[in-house]
Amino acid sequence: MLRHAIDTNVQIFTKFLVVSASAVGITHARKLFDQRPQREDSFLCNSMIKAYLDTRQYPDSFALYRDLRKETCFAPDNFTFTTLTKSCTLSMCVYQGLQLHGQIWRSGFCADMYVSTGVVDMYAKFGKMGCARNVFDEMPQRSEVSWTALICGYARCGELQVASKLFDEMPQVKDVVICNAMMDGYVKSGDMTSARRLFDEMTDKTVITWTTMIRGYCNNRDIESARELFDAMPQRNLVSWNTMIGGYCQNKQPQEAIRLFQEMQATTSLEPDDVTVVSVLPAISDTGALSLGEWCHHFVQRKKLDKMVKVCTAILDMYSKCGEIEKARKIFDEMPEKEVASWNAMIHGSALNGNARAALDLFLAMLKEVKPDEVTMLAVLSACNHGGLVEKGRKWFRVMEEFGLIAKIEHYGCMVDLLGRAGHLKEAEDVITNMPFVPNGIILSSFLSACGQYKDIERAERILNKAVELEPQNDGNYVLLRNLYAADKRWDDVGMVKRMMKKNEAKKEVGCSTIEINSIVSEFISGDTTHPHRRNIHLVLGKTRKPTGESQSQYSFWDIICMGVSSSILKNVPTNDLENQECSDQRLREPRMFRPTTQRTKNVQTNDSENQGTQIIKLYDDVFCVSHYPYKESLFSLKNLSFS
């Protein structure tokens, strides 16, 4: 009886077909459809076409339509064409869309508001705004959706003047969807004034509205306004948190990004997704918060996100920048598939950790699988720079054109640094002179540093004038030339440089360090006296300073390094123990103390213009070596004190 009812009642058969498509599968639904009692029934045929749309089988929906037209007397209606235009839009099949528009025109459905709106939206999504506008102008009646489709299309294509004009001409009340689309167009074009004006005028704001504005402020480096809006949001979703965390990373505020990430976990029930992980990992890399990075890695494994290429790439990049190159390489080797970004991260990580040869071997292996891009070549040149491989650097810089790549200013800057470090100052200066870009402050500072290293006062004087024009307040440039003059006992010139610094208001950048303790990153600034544990910190600081023979009353470099070191031990060590600790130098006589170091601390980052290349190296469980420019080293022991 059920079989008889299905065979004779089209409505029951259609409902059974729709349920089968969603519950059993589209293949089973198609078998039922092929046994349909009435071959040309429009409602039944449209339901099968829509079932293909709902299951994202877009080519099959077109194939079914063609078969129906060819083998039966099926007459398409407005619902048929509305469904097919949506399939074209979602599949981005332009040729199929043009054919469909021709059939709509021949079938006489151009006057149908719903069909024409679908065609307008289809052309707008294709980026063919001329076609979309022609269809829109010929519509006898337009709905709010029609206006929204056209305005959103112009906004996506960057034609904001046209979009804004249509937005003002729109007769209907503007709902939140079209306002969000218009605001998104303003944000993408960088017009935050217009975006904020529209935001303030909106009475009904959704989470998307707030998040769009936050993203716009982050992209325009106005992180304070972004945070102000974020704090004012009546409710937040995961996208909002991800946008703000990513905004902090984008604007070079990694500690704030980590704090916000930890706040999200502590105050909400939201669970990080792949976007969250990819957003926060650069901040973890910048601060050296390795334990937090390891937590992210374990989280990714628990949630089965480690099959996603972008997530694996971000994790291996984090490990390599935190000094765990072996873990990074293990992740890289286990990746089921690798994108160009994955190779780039591994090549750069190998170079960053002092293994230039491994980086170049990876590059040669990469060439067998994928084509390199500009970032790849920058990583290769960086590897040559780290390894002092001048000839290989020259070679790969020359062959960039063979890969169809044009060298950018970053590539020229890397070559200048490579040649300068190797003492090829004339060649480096020729690169600066002949490159098709105006040299930026980074390139000039790099070359100036090389001049200082090789005591080339004449070139340093020449470059300083250009550097001062670009960055008059960059104290590092003045310091390099001042030190050169001082080494040559040209005291009048030293005074001249100091006066120039004062005139240009160039102040020495305050040194700082960051350290991670129990996944919390703390920052220490040179000369800061506000830290609650400052007394104990300076007790350890004095002990570690003794081997250098310098006055304990003057803390500059040691402030920014050892304050971070000292703070990591304060929670578990009484003050008396700190006062009684003595730095041990008994192991200085042991030959193995001067073997190449293999374990570098991962959680201390420094920023000091006069101490570039600083490292704190863990030699034993309680013995550390601090080395910094100009090649001064100090060994100290903190017995029974933990530091990792």
Estimate the crossing angle of helix 356-367 against helix 340-352, to 10 degrees: 160
pLDDT in tens, 12-65: 666 766 666 666 677 767 777 766 766 667 777 788 888 888 888 888 888 888
Could you give the 3-state DSSP secondary structure of residue 405?
coil
| Cβ count within 10 A of residue 584 | 15
Determine, yes or no, domain membership for 626.
yes
Residue 530: per-residue pLDDT: 66
In sequence order, what DSSP letters do the residues of 210-223 get, joined into one string?
HHHHHHHHHHTT-H
Domain hosting residue 367, numbered range: 345-407
* Beta carbons within 8 Å of 507's beta carbon, 6+ residues apart: 473, 475
Give the alpha-carbon dihedral of 558, 563, 565, 567, to 10 degrees. Answer: 170
- Claim to verify: residue 518 and residue 574 sit in the same structural domain: yes
Determine, yes or no, domain membership for 105.
no
How does strand 623-628 pair with strand 512-517?
unpaired
* Beta carbons within 8 Å of 629's beta carbon, 6+ residues apart: 610, 611, 612, 613, 614
- Claim to verify: residue 516 and residue 615 sit in the same structural domain: yes
Is residue 445 a contact partner of residue 477, using CB atoms and an 8 Å limit? Answer: yes
- Claim to verify: residue 386 and residue 458 sit in the same structural domain: no
- Claim to verify: residue 496 and residue 609 sit in the same structural domain: no
DSSP H or E segment with residue 642: none
Give the residue from 508, 523, 539 where a domain finishes. Answer: 508
Structure tokens at 381: 């040149």
Give the residue from 68, 101, 126 where a domain finishes. Answer: 68
- Claim to verify: residue 538 and residue 612 sit in the same structural domain: yes
Determine, yes or no, domain membership for 340.
no
- Claim to verify: residue 560 and residue 629 sit in the same structural domain: yes
Residues of the chain with pLDDT under 50: 1-2, 546-561, 566, 568-644
Separation CA 584–CA 547 (nearest Å): 9
- Claim to verify: residue 529 and residue 610 sit in the same structural domain: yes
pLDDT in tens, 608-627: 444 444 444 443 344 444 44
Provide the β-strand partners of residue 636: 624
CATH code of residue 437 = 1.25.40
- Claim to verify: residue 535 and residue 587 sit in the same structural domain: yes
Is residue 445 a contact partner of residue 460, using CB atoms and an 8 Å limit? Answer: no
Determine, yes or no, domain membership for 500.
yes
Give the residue from 44, 68, 92 where a domain finishes. Answer: 68
- Claim to verify: residue 618 and residue 555 sit in the same structural domain: yes
- Claim to verify: residue 483 and residue 533 sit in the same structural domain: no
Determine, yes or no, domain membership for 212.
no
* Beta carbons within 8 Å of 162's beta carbon, 6+ residues apart: 154
Structure tokens at 218: 């982050």
Determine, yes or no, domain membership for 422.
yes
Residue (of 375, 363, 415) closest to 393 by Cα position: 415
Separation CA 589–CA 344 (nearest Å): 42
In sequence order, what DSSP letters do the residues of 119-149 get, joined into one string?
HHHHHHHHT-HHHHHHHHHH-SS--HHHHHH
Q: What is the pTM of this model?
A: 0.68
- Claim to verify: residue 524 and residue 607 sit in the same structural domain: yes
Q: How far apart are the first and last CA of the chain?
A: 77
Q: Please tell me the total count of domains within the chain.
A: 4
Determine, yes or no, domain membership for 435.
yes
Determine, yes or no, domain membership for 110.
no
Q: Please provide residue 141's backbone torsions phi and psi, each rounded to the nearest 5 degrees.
A: -140, 135
pLDDT in tens, 459-516: 887 877 777 777 776 777 777 777 777 877 788 777 877 887 777 666 666 666 666 5
Separation CA 158–CA 167 (nearest Å): 14
Separation CA 533–CA 572 (nearest Å): 13
In what order do the strands lie in the sheet containing 512-517? 520-525, 512-517, 604-607
Could you give the 3-state DSSP secondary structure of residue 626?
strand
Residue 122 burial by Cβ neighbours in a 10 Å radius (0-12, 13-18, 19+): buried
Distances (CA, A) of 418 to 295, 389, 481, 536: 37, 8, 20, 43
Helices (H), 238-273: 238-250, 254-267
- Claim to verify: residue 555 and residue 594 sit in the same structural domain: yes
